[in-house]
Structure 1
Amino acid sequence: MSHPGVRRTTWNALRARRRELGGLAGWSVVESLPALLGGVLVARAVDQGFLVGRFGTGLAWLAGLAAAVLVGAVGTGRVYRGLGAVVEPFRDELATRVVRAALDGATRPGGRADSAAVTRLTHQVEVVRDTFGGLLMVVRGFLFTAGSALLGLLSLAPLLAGAVAVPLVAGLVVFAAGLPAMVAHQRAQVRAGEDLGRSAATALGGHRDVVACGAQDRVVDDVGRRVTAQARTERTLARMAALRSLSLGVGGWLPVVVLLLAVPWLVRNGMSTGAVLGALVYVTTGLQPALHAIVVGVGGGGLRYVVTLDRILRACPVPGDDAGPTAGTAPPPVAHAAPGTAAPPAVRLRGVTFRYGPHARPVLADLTLALSAGEHLAVVGPSGAGKSTLAALIAGLARPDSGTVHLAGAPVAALAPAALARLRVLVPQEGYVRSGSLDDNLRYLCPDVDEAALERAVDALGARPLVSRLGGLGAAIEPGALSAGERQLVAAVRAYVAPAPLVILDEATCHLDPVLEATVEDAFGRRPGTLVVVAHRISSATRADRVLVFDDDGPVLGTHQELLARSPTYRELVGLWEHVPVPSGVPLGGP
């Protein structure tokens, strides 16, 4: 389904410009005069002029038709002028929405610039503007042109008007019946393209891991399947053009057939030659073009309008987009702790909801989670699902909009910074290293740690080669001279010796190779205390007691095996790592 705001946004844009739409309708009546009068004037010109030898009378009636065409042309010009008064303000509102969302995302705490905002502003907004204007024109044109042609036909031959209206309505019904399928296939084509983009980006971004694990053929096959899926949706979408042709055939050409077949009967019942010719004018110059315009316009531009506006609304939420659940919707997902956990839990979240900005869509909604002391939890899911947000909430760096977060039974919101630091340590993706000695960096969170404990931590986390390369614990280091992985390793040893009972690793090993990452996580798994790992690689989940996966329907908690059975998202994440040879020495079991 499309974003519910597509219909609401479109309706609000039209309702806010009722006066302009009224003017547009008025000039549309003027524009449709040729469609209304064309058949009647042609019939008069033939019956009262040319067939009875009165060429002047016939030409006079045709002159009336020419005058109606000129008046209609004036109406057409005013229609296009009035169209801008409806479309351009809507475009400006969308542009403002995109810019505001981009600024909010870049300036909020923890936010970042969205490079896609430029594409939305320069391409997607213009697509919506053009297709919105096109839809207004074709829908308005069909209503007034087809309506005028049917009224004119009714004035010539009421029975014939009814006979022509039946296939016209049938063609519209065929088109309307196929429209949901067209929308679904259009959306499937967009999703297939996005899946292909994500799959290719993941393969390119993780090429080192792919090569290290010998998974090249598997990754190539996965990307190939995405390419095939996108090609299949493109072909299906192209075949939907046959449905449009069917509706045009039924609604546009069948009335002509009906008219031609009915001519003998109409003539026998007193219908004149001019009236027959006028009826043909109404069908071929009024009904047929109007039907063709709406089928092609809605079937092409209409689908692009819905899909593109849907993408803008999802990426740039405004007040009203994040309304709560309505009657009949499923309750928000809740992750429950396993029975028998100790009280108080090491970590407890109750009904936590968090959003970036008062009007943004919730990143986490009514999440409940409990971790017992000593438990090892892995948090996995696609980018942007809320994994780092959850880590920040547990660490007390972000406050929920509603709900509570407790560490060791104490409410995080009520803890002073020093008390909070004694309960948890967070290691982010970018490891912080300051100028000075390596020893000072490793003791940063625990200055009193003894030398032997520090040496054991270095060995446990596989940092001995780094320490040796730098010249020992007393060596001076320059942060810029260390690689991203080396900085992460220093930060990991620092957190390992910290006294806090809770360690949160927020993709803190993403720059390490798989062997060293497994060594670090295995060491933290044996460390006394509770461990939360926001996983960079799905292999981290196999080392955890339980896994929290951000599924399409919300967070789902369970063991590795349970989630393989329950979560499609988890199975997809695991897919690239199943049956992949693991380098020797990499522990994959739980601690």
Structure 2
Amino acid sequence: MSAPAAVGGGAAGGRRAAGGRVDGLPVADGRRVRRAMAGLLSAEARAVTGMVGLAALAAAAGLAPPRLLGQIVDAVAAEGAAAVAGVDRLALGIVAATAAQILLTRWTLLVAHRFGERTAARVREQFLDRALGLTPATIERVPAGDLAARGTGDVGAVAATLRDAVPEVFVAATQAVFLLGAVLLVAPVLGAAGLLSLGAAAIAVRWYLRRARAAYLEEGAAGSALADELAATVAGARTVEALGLQGRRLAGGRVAVDRVRRARLRTLFLRSVLFPLVDVSYVLPVVAVLLLGGALHRHAELSLGAVTACALYLRQLAAPLDIILVWMERLQASGAAYARVEGLAAVPPAPAPGTAAPAGDRIEMTGVWYAYDGGPDVLRGVDLTVRPGERLAVVGVSGAGKSTLVRLLAGVDRPRAGTVTVGGVPVADLPPGLLRRQLVLVTQEHHVFRDSLRDNLRLAAPRATDTHLRAALATVGVNWLDELPAGLDTDLGRHPLDGARAQQVALARVVLANPHTVLLDEATALLDPRTARGAERALAAVLRERTVVVVAHRLQTARDADRVAVLDAGRVVELGSHDELVAAGGTYAALWRSWHGDGAR
């Protein structure tokens, strides 16, 4: 239980910024990504050093065969048949060097893959730690598909790249550097010609890199938007069907799919231009060396063996460059994915909890103003005191600010102005453990994990016995426990509960948590009236000595409360008992008459 809402149910629902814009998680810039990568490398400094050394040895061993072959050519050209003995020795040297290169390369890849696996695990753990460290308010403002896409597709892409692409690209890059260095050492003129011929490839790669990051970031964002659209449609399937919104949801889905299609076509276009250009550029250095080397050999300025060695070095260069090219697309995609994964580090951390303990259980809101993300104020100068042990109902029309008020009471959000305290201590400053002992928020949404019913209940009380669990279920009116195939051991992933039963599990967690104050935000909305009435009465009996604040969507709940706070346009416009407010003939009386019929008491 990492937040008050976790005991009873899920978040109170995603929030939208002013103008309906859904806030998303940030994306790390290039500097932050490079700094994060440096941190990953420094954490594996020993493995990185081993990779560098082994890759250098493998690359050095790979330089011997072309040079030895060039010596064979020179020996045969100079001595003819008399050079057979020397040729045999040089051939054995080629075999030995090739074998050494193969063994060293495999060893390098082994070390590199182990490095990749450990680093991928570190990335996953960092992401999980950061995701769990997000404040409830942040999580609720982020589209569910965005966080899910980063935690699955993006983290998976980064992990696969670290495991597969990085080792092979590292080895290939080392080989390419050694091969170019060898050409320059054997024949500087030919080496320079070969490097100049690679200019076409460099131009193509530069063109690609300048466009790839933005294209792959858009592809990732489009995937997140599609995931969020699908999640929202599935979650609201019953509402969509009841209100006949299939056409609207399908239209929104088509827009999201079209965005994904266009983003992927853009990255495909970039690859389609890059690959052919680079494939052609592989041949240019060899052609240049053969033409220039032939001319130099004809003028006796360069031996035939040197020309042969340089041509072979540049021909060998195609293999590591091809590996780099093949993985470049993956590296760009995973680089964009890592920017999204590392974006969680850019989320402002939650303020450090205070150390003061509440002096009592009195809850006070004083001069509270609150707005979502710079939008219009949802609460306006609210003053409200919740006395220990009382049952307070919060009522009002839709949009009056009821859910926002209980979120502030629960410490999920902080007021823009004013204070919300329990026992004189700001609620939002309480450490999570102390906060959960003081306040539990149960919303109209809920979550049941794909685990046993027993483990789902023990989220609220890890040491609870089966007797306690059964008693808590009975308290909230559960009469279906014996219908489950394995009772408390039933896997709720394989045998999912419907909405009403899942909400009863959420209410049973409240009973087990046994907090000082319970905040119910339409917590029985998914129960039928008879079951909801029974669950509310059971909770009232169990929590008779506790403080209860309930957002009442059924005014019968407000009638049973000690006091009723009436919200209108973000202000508390009436406060008193049910009978007092009905007699006053104000806003509450009008709500009561419209809900229960004229003349009702």
TM-score tier, shorter chain, comes to 0.5 to 0.7
Which of 59, 67, 75 matches 1:40? 67
Contact (CA 8 Å) 2:197, 2:285: kept in 1 or not?
A: yes
Deviations along 1:254-293, one digit per CA (max 9) or x if unpaired, are 21232243244223332233222222211111x2112111
Give per-residue Cα distances to partners, 1:492-522, cap 9 Å, x unaligned: 55459954243699xxxxxxxxxxxxxxxxx
Q: For the Cα contact (< 8 Å) 2:190–2:293, is it kept in 1?
A: no
What is the aligned length?
412
- Give the whole-Å Cα distance in 2 for the aligned partners of 1:9 and 1:369: 39
Say if 2:113 and 2:167, in contact at 8 Å, map to a contact too: no
Listed as ranges, the matches of 1:307-386 within 5 Å are: 307-314=336-343, 322=348, 347-349=368-370, 371=380, 378=399
**Aligned-partner Cα distance in 1 for 2:288–2:532:** 94
Superposition CA RMSD, Å: 5.1
Q: Give the aligned residue type for 2:97.
A: A
Q: Which amino acid aligns with 1:274?
A: G
The corresponding residue for 2:315 is 284
Deviations along 1:18-58, whole A, 9 cap, x unmatched? 23222221111210124323332111110113663122222
Cα distance in 2 between the residues matched to 1:21 and 1:227: 41
| Residue identity matched to 1:3 | A
1:527 aligns with 2:536: no
Instruction: Establish whether residue 500 from structure 1 lines up as the match of residue 565 from structure 2.
Output: yes
How far off its partner does 1:14 sit?
A: 0.6
TM-score between the two structures when normalised by the length of structure 2: 0.56
Given the alignment of the two structures, is residue 14 of structure 1 paired with residue 74 of structure 2, yes or no?
A: no
Structure 2: distance between partners of 1:370 and 1:274 = 85
Query: Structure 1 residues 198, 2: CA separation in 2 closer, same or farther (over 3 Å shift)?
Result: closer
User: Partner residue of 2:581?
Assistant: none
**Which whole-Å CA distance do the structure 2 matches of 1:172 and 1:8 have between them?**
26
* Contact 1:347–1:371 (Cα < 8 Å) also in 2: yes
Partner in structure 1 of residue 176 of structure 2 = 146
Q: Structure 1's 402 and 68: CA in aligned 2 closer, same or farther, altered over 3 A?
A: farther
Residues 354-393 of structure 1 show CA distances to partners (whole Å, capped at 9, x for unaligned) of: xxxxxxxxx979998862689999499xxxxxx96x5445
Q: Are the counterparts in 2 of residues 33 and 68 from structure 1 also a CA contact under 8 Å? A: no
SS of alignment partner, residue 294 of structure 1 = helix
1:353-502 maps to which residues of 2 (within 5 A)?
Answer: 371=380, 378=399, 391-394=405-408, 396-398=409-411, 404-406=417-419, 414=424, 428-429=443-444, 477-479=533-535, 490-491=553-554, 494-495=557-558, 499-502=564-567
* 1:105 to partner: Cα distance: 7.7
For 1:51-450, list aligned pairs within 5 A.
52-53=79-80, 54-84=83-113, 86-97=115-126, 100=129, 127-211=157-241, 213-249=243-279, 251-270=281-300, 271-285=302-316, 287-300=317-330, 302-314=331-343, 322=348, 347-349=368-370, 371=380, 378=399, 391-394=405-408, 396-398=409-411, 404-406=417-419, 414=424, 428-429=443-444
d(CA) in 2 for partners of 1:218, 1:148: 60
CA distance in 2, matches of 1:61, 1:379: 89
User: Once the 2 structures are TM-superposed, how far is the Cα of residue 400 of structure 1 from its aligned partner?
Assistant: 5.9
Alignment partners' CA distance in 2, 1:274 and 1:256:
15
Distance 1:294 1:401 in 2: 50
8 Å Cα contact 1:259/1:280 also seen in 2:
yes
* Ranges in structure 2 where 5+ consecutive residues have no aligned partner: 1-25, 351-364, 384-395, 428-440, 447-474, 478-526, 538-549, 571-585, 592-601
Alpha-carbon distance in 1 for matches of 2:277, 2:349: 38
Work out the percentage of aligned pairs sharing the same amino acid: 20
3-state SS of 2:369 partner: strand
The answer (yes or no) to whether the contact 1:434–1:478 under 8 Å persists in 2 is yes
2:444 aligned partner, one-letter code: Q
For residues 225 and 107 of structure 1, the distance between their equivalents in structure 2, rounded to whole angstroms, comes to 30
Counterpart of 1:240 in 2: which secondary structure?
Answer: helix
The 1:427/1:143 distance shift into structure 2, 3 A limit, reads closer
Pick closer, same or farther for the CA change 1:48–1:2 going to 2, 3 Å: farther
Q: Using a 3 Å threshold, how does the CA distance of structure 1 residues 72 and 48 change in structure 2: closer, same or farther?
A: same
Taking a change above 3 Å as real, the CA distance of residues 39 and 128 of structure 1, as seen in their structure-2 partners, is: same
Distance in 2, Cα, partners of 1:257 & 1:416 = 76
CA distance in 1, matches of 2:99, 2:58: 9
Instruction: Give distance in 1, aligned partners of 2:228 and 2:85.
Output: 72
**Match among 55, 62, 67 for residue 28 of structure 1:** 55
How far off is 1:129 after superposition? 3.4
Q: Is the 8 A contact 1:34 1:65 kept in 2?
A: no
Aligned with 2:28: secondary structure? coil
- Larger relative CO (CA 8 A, sep 6+): 1 or 2? 2
Instruction: Tell me which amino acid in the other structure corresponds to 2:567.
Output: L
Cα displacement string for residues 440-493 of structure 1 (whole angstroms, at most 9, x for unaligned residues): xxxxxxxxxxxxxxxxxxxxxxxxxx99x97xxxx9953499xxxxx9975455
Q: Distance in 2 between matches of 1:259 and 1:122?
A: 48
- CA spacing shift, 1:321–1:12, aligned 2, 3 Å: farther
Distance 1:495 1:154, change over 3 A: same
User: Distance in 2 between the 1:193 and 1:278 partners?
Assistant: 49
Gaps of 5+ in 1: 325-343, 351-362, 381-386, 418-425, 436-465, 482-486, 506-525, 532-591
C-alpha distance in 2 between matches for 1:267 and 1:489: 95
